[in-house]
Structure 1
Amino acid sequence: MYTVLGVLAVMAATGTEGGRTASKTQVLQTIQDMPMGRWLLGLVALGLAGYVIWRLVQAIRDTEGHGNDAKGMGKRLAYAASALGYGVLAYIAGKAAFENTSANSGGNSRQSFVATLLEQSYGQWLVGAIGLTVIGIGIYQLMRAYSGSFAKHVNSSRIPANQQRMVHRVGQLGYTARGIVWAILGYFLIQAAMHSNANEAQGTEGAFDFLASMGSGIMLVVALGLVAYGLYMFVRAKYPILRGV
């Protein structure tokens, strides 16, 4: 998904026909529109469901050994939140694949959720707090990129020695781009909270539009970074370190 998302943004940044800034649900729609798209989308849904299950296992069984203190429980809750988010995508992809409906039908769910929060007492404060949390996640992704801690999930000893450095650099670029996008999404949430306007809670398509307003070169670099993140996830899938199993 991240690879397709990045490729679409690269095409948009370079003015290539068919390129666009897209959300994750729009990426699902792009996959659905490919030859044998329903089958491909079904495989994506299956993969997402597997990822959701693994995230829940990480949260419940504490496979990463974070423990039960406040910091450890915070990380385990983050795994559960990740499972929830990707569970929604798995449902959208599966429904579109098996019922042949549009995968982009859930595109406004983000704004609807934020609008519901804003209607509550202290809703603006709550959305603002979520925005700060999302920015924090973005900063954490950047810290992971430059500390090299992301590499602990890959069994580097199985990667040919002449490729290990390249794989590490691809991972750094990928996590940097992901951190930038997360930080922009958090900024959008804070703007939505300050103005009490759910429409300002944009997704990845809005993040790339924001980057494009700063220059197509900046957008291109971040888009290539998301492609790199997707490629690094393929490496991580091939050479995994799975704890607690």
Structure 2
Amino acid sequence: MRRFGGRNTLERLARFGYGARGFVYCVVGALAVLAALGAGGQTGDSKGALRAVLGGPFGPVVVGAIAAGLLAFALWRLVEGITDADRRGTGPKGLAVRGAHLVSAGIYAGLALTAASLSLGLGLKGGDGMQDWSAWLMAKPLGRWLLALIGLCVIAGGFGFLGKAVAGDVTERLALSRNQCRWIRPVGRFGYAARGIAFLIIGGFLVVAAWYQRSSEVRGLGEAFRLLRRQEYGWILLAVVAAGHVAFGAFGLIQARYRHIDAPDIDETDDAAARAFRAFR
């Protein structure tokens, strides 16, 4: 892909995508914080956040821009997974991260379609998407075990987020000075920790659903928030984890501006995709 204005177009799309994702998580977390404090918010997921934005000023336009940004982020995740743009390597850890990027591409593409549907006034499909696909999966041979495996992978991802929050360098890919990273690092750590807790809970829901063979046990981020709220001193737990999601969103906005993105040219992307296809044949 040719450079425009001195920057790779894929890089522009990636930055737009990080910004859109960051904005969504800021809204998700802010609404949950308000709910924890009894100030009228709601503990919902990304779709709930999109609905809230839709009801605000210029709602359809803003949600339409978010849809475009999330689609751009899904494209970037796909490119990351295929081309190894971040130089993760072909070791077990690198392949796991690249595989997670491919899964992330599908998830954010679906959320982009939801946002586009809302923006165009088409509404959302009825039912719960996570419960629908889990019911479909469990109806297949070995589907119960596959769902349990997915749940365990989500739990592993949660521990990965927590590990990065505790011991990882969340600012390693930011083009900022050491002094600037000093105040950004706690924001990133807080955000990754909150996402880790959410992943552990959501993964647990999936494993429980597989164990009891009931897709109704599958829950998303909104129910994870509500589970925290039901615990002793739950409003404090919810407020902390929700604030962490605001931090995760804010960190995404920082990534949109300062993350190092080594986006390949489109010809290089095509070649990498062809190599990946041949490797799996």
Confirm or deny a common fold (TM above 0.5): yes
TM-score (norm 2): 0.81
Alignment of 1:142-153 (within 5 A): 142-153=162-173
Q: What is the aligned counterpart of 1:22 among 34, 41, 44?
A: 44
Q: What is the aligned counterpart of 1:9 among 15, 27, 32?
A: 32
Separation in structure 2 between the aligned mates of residue 124 and residue 80 of structure 1, nearest angstrom: 22
Q: What is the aligned counterpart of 2:71 among 49, 59, 67?
A: 49
Q: What is the aligned counterpart of 1:222 among 220, 229, 241?
A: 241
**AA of the residue aligned to 2:36:** A
**Secondary structure, counterpart of 2:155 in structure 1:** helix
Q: What is the aligned counterpart of 1:121 among 141, 153, 156?
A: 141
Contact 1:60 1:76 in 2 (8 A): yes
Greater CA deviation, 216-225 or 75-84? 75-84
Separation in structure 2 between the aligned mates of residue 44 and residue 92 of structure 1, nearest angstrom: 10
**Secondary structure, counterpart of 1:20 in structure 2:** coil
**Same amino acid, percent of matched pairs:** 35
Alignment of 1:104-119 (within 5 A): 104-105=124-125, 108-119=128-139
Separation in structure 2 between the aligned mates of residue 107 and residue 2 of structure 1, nearest angstrom: 23
Alignment of 1:196-207 (within 5 A): 196-207=213-224
Matched, 1:240 2:240: no
Query: How many residues in Structure 1 have an aligned counterpart in Structure 2?
Result: 239
Q: What is the aligned counterpart of 1:156 among 170, 176, 201?
A: 176
Contact 1:67 1:73 in 2 (8 A): yes
**AA of the residue aligned to 1:101:** L
Separation in structure 2 between the aligned mates of residue 118 and residue 164 of structure 1, nearest angstrom: 45
**AA of the residue aligned to 2:148:** G
**Secondary structure, counterpart of 1:86 in structure 2:** helix
Question: After superposition, what is the alpha-carbon deviation per residue over 1:23-49, rounded to whole angstroms, capped at 9, x for unaligned?
Answer: 211111111111110000011011111
Contact 1:25 1:106 in 2 (8 A): no
For structure 1, the 5+ residue unaligned runs are none
Q: What is the aligned counterpart of 1:37 among 41, 54, 59?
A: 59
TM-score (norm 1): 0.92
For structure 2, the 5+ residue unaligned runs are 1-23, 265-281
RMSD: 1.5
